């Protein structure tokens, strides 16, 4: 097993913002069960500010820790600020990830962005430039038992 930093283990053991938001303004789901990681991110957005965020994750220690850290990094931030969030920031905030696990942080970034895309689609507002050609790498919303 990979050696995880203290910060990763802390976010794995005590994940922040776990759960669902029933009346979420935007929901994003990325990854697929085939590869062993699925992240689902729920956002409440008020006046372009992320007022609440919750997540659910199926995956390894790093998948859970990066989801948790991503929610911490975006809570209370404006959408513009959130759009500058990269997977690198998540990795740094966790004091690093084993090389094999960096893809989990990419997934976390994509989960946030995909929830924002959902928000813009639902609200009918024009998407900011940064989200215009956003595509997730993993085929999200895949039925979990497809093999």
Partner 1 sequence: MNIYFDNAATTVCGDTVANAVFTAMKEVYGNPSSVHSLGQKAALALDRARSDVAKLLNCEAKEIYFTSGGTESDNWAIRSAALTGALKGKKHVVSSKFEHHAVLHTLNRLEKEGYEITLLDVYSDGIVRPEDAERAIRDDTALVTIMYANNEIGTIQPIAEIGSICRRKGVPFHTDAVQAVGHIPVDVKADNVDMLSLSAHKFNGPKGVGVLYARQRVPLNIFMEGGAQERGRRGGTENVAGNIGLATALTEAVENLEANAAKTIAIREKLVKELLKIPKSRYNGDPEKHLPGVANFCFEGIEGESLLLKLDAAGICASSGSACTSGSLDPSHVLLAIGLSHEIAHGSLRLSFNEQNTFEEADFIIKTLPPIIEKLRSMSPVWERIQKGGK
Catalytic residues: 35, 104
Within 12-71, the residues that bind partner 1 by CB under 8 A are: 12-13, 15, 18-20, 29, 33-40, 55-64
How far, in Å, CA of 45 to CA of 53, rounded? 9
Residue 47: CB minimum distance to partner 1, A: 28
Size of the site for partner 1 (CB under 8 A): 34
Residue 101: CB minimum distance to partner 1, A: 8
* Binding footprint of partner 1 on the chain (CB under 8 A): 1, 9, 12-13, 15, 18-20, 29, 33-40, 55-64, 100-101, 143-147
């Amino acid at each position: 097993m990979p050696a995880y930093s203290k910060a990763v283990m802390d976010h794995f053991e005590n994940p922040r913002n776990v759960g669902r938001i029933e009346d979420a303004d935007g929901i994003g789901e990325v990854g697929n069960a085939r590869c062993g990681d699925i992240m689902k991110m729920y956002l409440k957005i008020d006046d372009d500010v992320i007022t609440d965020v919750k997540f659910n994750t199926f995956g390894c220690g790093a998948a859970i820790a990066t989801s948790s850290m991503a929610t911490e990094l975006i809570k209370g931030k404006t959408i513009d600020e959130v759009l500058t969030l990269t997977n690198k920031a998540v990795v740094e905030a966790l004091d690093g990830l084993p090389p094999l696990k960096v893809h989990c942080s990419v997934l976390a970034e994509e989960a946030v962005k995909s929830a924002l895309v959902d928000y813009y689609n639902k609200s009918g507002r024009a998407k900011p430039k940064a989200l215009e050609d956003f595509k997730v790498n993993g085929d999200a919303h895949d039925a979990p038992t497809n093999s």
